[in-house]
Amino acid sequence: MKKNGGTIVSVDDMGSRNLAYEIEKQKRGYYYVIYFTAPSESIAELERNYRVNESIIRFIFIKSESKTEVKHWTAMSEEAAKRAAK
């Protein structure tokens, strides 16, 4: 991430969980929430890499733009960092 100008703020390892619905004959998945900042070009490269990785069956990027969204994003990333430190 750093080589493409991004910074990982925190990682929330949510562990193995049941999927909401079966995907590619898989009923369980390992969930991570990664809070990061990055230029738009880096997101496109991440998407490309995730699509060719057979271990990743689903992913989503959510962009925070408004001041309210950024405030909530900051609070969630700080909470994730606290949980990871325990």
Do the Cβ atoms of 5 and 38 come closer than 8 Å?
yes
Identify the structural domains of the chain with CATH numbers, from first to last: 2-85 (3.30.70.60)
- The per-residue pLDDT for 1 is 57
Rounded to an integer, the average pLDDT of 8-22 is 89
pLDDT at 42 over 80: yes
Mean pLDDT over residues 43-55, rounded?
A: 91
Q: What is the signed CA dihedral for 16, 76, 4, 57, rounded to 10 degrees?
A: 30
- In this predicted structure, the answer to whether residue 9 has a pLDDT above a threshold of 90 is no
What percentage of residues in the chain have a pLDDT greater than 70?
97
Mean pLDDT, rounded, for 6-14: 85
